[in-house]
Structure 1
């Protein structure tokens, strides 16, 4: 018994040390970026990003210069607004579509689901021009709505929610219908709480994708006051590459919202991804 307990203890310690080393290895690039944000551009051009801690050249001047930019906090606000609106609307409408494909039996259901899978294989570059013309006709150019509205109902979250709902018990639905609950009430009051892990998992993925989105907002947004954070920071670069220090400092600050978002939802992330991937 003691031998078995010792064996389990050694295994636990070995796994702990292994994961600790892997975590440190994965955090080294982030640590290098944080150090780089405190160094002047000349140091970055000479030595690149490194783990050298040189207090003689390190300071918060990059962050001060960034905060002095009249549009920086506007870009930050735009990115937060787009990310929040996109994530909420995408989760709401995509979950409805996935729920409908998983629960209701109707003609062409399998055909619609097959089309969803086909659309997943189409890259953005192919549909970029039609979407651009659509934004012009809807007068959504250079607006926050135009930066995310075409992608609110996307095939990936539809597929994910459909797979997740397919693995949930359907007895609750029949009991709710017997009690006189409407279909909308069933979805809002019964299914949405059961889909909480799926919502958390997809919220992280959708928010991360929206926060880092660069290509489509670059096409739609034109004026400085409407730019998102990734595009706004890219305007800081010059042909001589003398603003990499400010760009790196802005990148460090851009990590904070997504990091907090992940910490808040990580409790359900693994559960939701695992269930959505194997059920159905």
Structure 2
């Protein structure tokens, strides 16, 4: 073997050795340097890094935020109205050494499976402690925060940081929709009946008060009219009495004229009366009858 061939072999072996000892750390990943399966070094800063060739190996983990969709599940709130819940989470590897120890030599799928189990159990626990109306209302944000906080604590054993948990969809199962609709219809009908009953009660109170007020007003008006009529009659009688006292003959003449006016009307076709009656005293003579004062 010539020296040139040996030199080429040596250079090639050296080149392979150098290339085997150098690797690049991407800014989007974390790298573990393993030796016989044991962690020897952690590389997190981007750039060139070195390892012992042929003895040490490199395992790369994605350092970016990951998305995990939990499987659709049914939960039972406090009011026993079963709900179908679909959620998702955002997470990332916080401690790559602990993550490696937790999942072993498995890939990200194992970590996602274990994290999905944690999220599912927390969703059932938190949503099972409240009513369905709370889950379907604006208070759901507080419930998602509770699920996230509980998942953060349990996911630390995986070396994982749970950043956020969100409920994408919450709805009733198909078999419960009709029963729920009928119950809601019955509740609305009951509320409408209660409102109508309260309306009728209020109308009766208003009507009774109006009737009472009307009776009081009419009674007061009748009382005032009787008082006024009595005062008027008294004043009229006083005027008549005063007139009679001043001139009894004129008063008698006035009364006779009033009697003629009331009796001698067109509809009175027949009168049966004695010609010598006092009724005709003022018709028989053009002079007034002598008064008692003249005697």
TM-score over 0.5 for the pair: no
| TM-score scaled by length of structure 1 | 0.20
| TM-score scaled by length of structure 2 | 0.20
Structure with the higher fraction of residues in helix conformation: 1
Structure with the higher fraction of residues in strand conformation: 2
Larger-gyration structure (1/2): 2
Q: Which has the higher contact order (CA 8 A, sep 6+)?
A: 1
